[in-house]
Amino acid sequence: MTGSGLGMVKIVGLALAALMIGVTVWGSQAFALPLTRVDFQLYHWEAGEWKEYCQYDEFPADGNLPGTNLWKYTYAVYNLSAPQPLREIYTFFNSENLAADATLTAAAAPTGFTPAQIGPFDPDFNWKERFRTTNSIYYIQSGQSLAGFAVEFTWTKSAMPGIQNCDVVFSGGSESSTTSSTCAPSATEEATWGGVKALYR
């Protein structure tokens, strides 16, 4: 085989090797299992009590009217296999950044964690609620979960509040994802607030 022929074989071989490495890396990323999970339940204040709603339920007629538009998310945070214990959680509101659909009224956290609102910063409408602990005895260890996180807010959109962007922080890293409803899935999935715009923060 001539020198030019050998050179061509080497080039083709290197190209194939690079392609295989790329496929391997892409595949490992595509099929990586999540390290964390944040589940939510959704409630609307009706007749003096909290009524739970699922994404496929009919939106209440007064669900976005002043005086009757108080809603609440409760969250449970799961450390599935993060390399370090979890110490900080963020949930995002008005991710589409088109209007002030959600306005904070109150937030609560389990023992050891402190809630804090970050934003909105003019002229943007989006903001996030941070739940953080600085005491390691309250960290969420691998294989453990913690409930008791909650955000109350008024809502002006004529559609059900839905999944949210969220970040879960551990020492040396974090994981971004979306919250998961604890409701049983419906026969037909409906588009919900934040679902389609999950990449926007």
Q: Are residues 153 and 119 in the same domain?
A: yes
Determine, yes or no, domain membership for 186. Answer: no
Q: Are residues 92 and 170 in the same domain?
A: yes
**CA 90 – CA 149 distance, rounded (Å):** 11
Determine, yes or no, domain membership for 72. Answer: yes
User: What pTM did the predictor assign?
Assistant: 0.77
pLDDT of residue 69: 97
pLDDT of residue 186: 60
Q: Are residues 84 and 130 in the same domain?
A: yes
Determine, yes or no, domain membership for 39. Answer: yes
Number of domains in the chain: 2
Q: Are residues 60 and 94 in the same domain?
A: yes
Q: Are residues 116 and 169 in the same domain?
A: yes
pLDDT of residue 84: 96
pLDDT of residue 24: 40
pLDDT of residue 88: 98
Q: Are residues 110 and 43 in the same domain?
A: yes
Q: Are residues 113 and 164 in the same domain?
A: yes
Determine, yes or no, domain membership for 157. Answer: yes
Determine, yes or no, domain membership for 200. Answer: no
Give the CATH number, domain containing residue 137.
Answer: 2.60.40.2230
Range of the domain at 18: 1-32
Determine, yes or no, domain membership for 194. Answer: no
Q: Are residues 14 and 74 in the same domain?
A: no
Please give the chain's pLDDT, 201 residues, in tens.
Answer: 555 554 444 444 444 444 444 434 344 444 678 999 999 999 999 999 999 999 999 999 999 999 999 999 999 999 999 999 999 999 999 998 888 999 999 999 999 999 999 999 999 999 999 999 999 999 999 999 999 999 999 999 999 999 999 999 999 899 999 999 999 776 544 444 444 444 344
Q: Are residues 79 and 150 in the same domain?
A: yes
Q: Are residues 7 and 106 in the same domain?
A: no
Q: Are residues 84 and 53 in the same domain?
A: yes
